[in-house]
Amino acid sequence: MKRVLSVVFQFILYLFVFGIGSLLPAFSILPTWSVATSPGRVFVYDGLLLMLLVYVVILLIAAARKRINIAFPNATGAMVIALIIGLLMKFGFKSV
C-alpha cells in the first residue's frame, strides 16, 4: 500500500512540475527552450527538463538512503505515466 501511494504522489508531483514548467515561459519568467514541431507549432521543453530534474533528485535521495532498488521502479513508472498523460494533455505545445 505504501508503494502504491508513493507512485501516486510521485505521479502527481511529476505532472504538476511538467505543467508548471510548460507555463513558465508564457509569463516570461525564464528563457524558453523550444523546438519547432511544425510551421505553426512549438514544443517548449522546459517542463520536461524540470520533470527530469525532479526525477534525478528523487533517485539521488533514494541512493543516499540505500533504497535505490525500491525507489527506481516506482519513480520510473510514475515519471513515464506522468510523461504520457502530460503529452496527451498537450503540456509544452503552443502555437506561434
pLDDT tens digits, residue range 6-55?
A: 999 999 999 999 999 888 776 776 667 777 878 888 888 888 999 999 99
- Residues 51-71, mean pLDDT to the nearest whole number: 94
- For 17, the grid coordinates are 512540475
- For 32, the grid coordinates are 524558453
pLDDT of 96 > 80? The answer is no
- Residues 66-84, mean pLDDT to the nearest whole number: 94
Distance CA 73, CA 7 (A): 9
Domain extent, residue 81, equals 2-95
CB 81 within 8 A of CB 8: no
pLDDT at site 68:
92
Going by pLDDT thresholds of 50, 70 and 90, the confidence category of residue 1 is confident
Total domains in the chain come to 1
- Alpha carbon dihedral 38, 55, 71, 5, in 10-degree steps, equals -80
